[in-house]
Amino acid sequence: MKILVTGAKGFIGKNLIAELRNRKYEDIIEYDRDTDSSLLDEYCKEADFVFHLAGVNRPKEKSEFIEGNFGFTSELLNSLKKHNNTCPVMISSSIQAELDNPYGESKKAGEELLFAYGKETGGKVLVYRFPNVFGKWCRPNYNSAIATFCHNIAHDLPIQVNDPSVLMKLVYIDDVVNELIDALGGNENKVDLFCEVAVVHTITLGEIVDLIYSFKKSRENRSVPNMSDAFTKKLYSTYLSYLPEDKFSYDLKMNIDQRGSFTEFIRTPDRGQVSVNISKPGITKGSHWHHTKNEKFLVVSGKGVIRFRKIDSDEVLEYFVSGDKMEVVDIPTGYTHNIENLGDTDMVTIMWANEPFDPEKPDTYYLEV
């Protein structure tokens, strides 16, 4: 199957082509503004499906809206008709097609042109009125508020929010791409005349900005966003794609003493805390117990022993652990416990606790094992 993608180097086009290749579609014909225009006729003759994603949304002159969103569409459809090619044609329109502005009017004209083409030729036509699309590779400081906010906040640049109460309707680029590939297989989500992405997020501009600033702050407070919320998860992925290339990494505070070190990695209010514990050879750490706090230990390098004693018993239990075997040891409540490095090298242990450490309520009581 030969798939023609116009606007191939644009935001949606780049993401779509990348996923088509991931799914082993190999015969993809890419057409963009820097493509030799004489090739369009040949491409239209060969295509088995057309994703028409090319368009104009930030022209220097208003007349370019019609030229780019109507004129080029007309040229594309005329070329298909010339070769009697009635393959399915998808066009990316916008919810602004319902509005009275030059951009919306040009998008509306492109829609009507495609519907008329479908009636005339019998070819299958798919019109998508996308709301605001966000995700990786979207150009900042252009026509996407989310791209601009993510880029500027990640780069310590100012942003401007005129009205934080404005309600935004948004679709994520991966959801768009999945819908388009479904349409390629004849499984488009069609509602009346138009097709649409099933997953639409509605949120205020102010809430979006607050989330993005919280993502930036998370490096300092070692938190992670609420990944159970679909929009937050998608927005965080988007934000990370705008990090400066020399700022992918960030430091953590290592609490170092003669025994080794202890470093908090992640803190969450509802999923607990993850830390990295390094013990020098012969060193024993711990010797305490908890009422409610519970932990999981995973030794990833070195070897040692984790000892337990129920606080009202004399019996000591031993679990020998090693980085040679990935074995998680649960630390139950009511048992005093410690961990000793039995090797000749540093022992590295990943430790998870069900709650972040609170010095006001440590729930940690010293008691020798």
Q: Which residues carry out catalysis?
A: 103
78: its two tokens: 């005329």
CB 91 within 8 A of CB 114: yes
CB 212 within 8 A of CB 235: yes
DSSP 255-316: EEETTEEEEEEEEETTTEEEEEEEE-TT-EEEEEE-SS--EEEEEEESEEEEEEEETT---E
| Amino acid, res. 51 | F
Helices 39-46 + 72-82 axis angle, to 10: 60
The rounded distance, in Å, linking the Cα atoms of 348 and 297 is 10
Phi, psi of 236 (to 5 degrees): -65, -40
Helix (H, G, I), strand (E, B) or coil at 331: strand
Q: What phi-psi label fits residue 286: left (phi over 0), alpha (psi between -120 and 50 degrees) or beta?
A: left
CB 126 within 8 A of CB 92: no
